Amino acid sequence: MEDINPNNVLVSNVDSPKPTVKLADLEAVITSEGFDDFQLQGVEIHAPEIWKGVSPTPPCQVWSVGVTLMHFFSNKIIFGNWDQDSHAQEFPLDMNKSAWAIGKIMKLVGPLEQDEDPK
């Protein structure tokens, strides 16, 4: 699934009073009918529902937009495993990259309880 992420946001006229923001490469954004066959969002923008095993839905795209905006305004990646190596003393180096990203979300929003029927 091509989803909304920092690589799909194009900005022009940045120095003007009215910059232009466009979304690109949205050929596979989730429609109201959903997806049966998909690739998951990038680790940096995974919605909590995706980590819980739920198929992507439009609210997952809203999460992607929010995380993308946070990346832009804070000028750093909030989630994902980009900083995993800096904590090598605290965690084993072979720690699963996904687990690292999940842990960062849980630190922010709390435990991700498993749905009875995630699909």
Predicted confidence (pLDDT) per residue in 21-69, tens digit: 888 776 655 555 555 444 556 777 878 887 777 777 788 878 888 888 8
Structure tokens at 99: 């687990």
Residues 6+ apart with CB under 8 A from 28: 1, 2, 3, 35, 38
- What integer is the mean pLDDT of 79-106? 63
Of 50, 90, 67, 58, nearest to 8 (Cα)?
67
Q: What is the pTM of this model?
A: 0.57
Establish if 115 belongs to a structural domain: no
What percentage of the chain exceeds 90 in pLDDT?
Answer: 5
118 domain-assigned: no
5 close to 44: Cβ distance less than 8 angstroms = yes
How far apart are alpha carbons 51 and 43 in whole angstroms? 10
User: Which residues constitute the domain of residue 101?
Assistant: 6-109
Alpha carbons 21 and 100: distance in angstroms, whole number: 31
Of the pLDDT bands very low, low, confident and very high (cuts 50, 70, 90), residue 2 is very low
Domains held by the chain: number: 1
DSSP state for residue 115 in the 8-state scheme? P
Question: Is 83 a member of any domain?
Answer: yes
pLDDT at 17: 92
Residue 116 lies in a domain: no
**Does some domain include residue 117?**
no
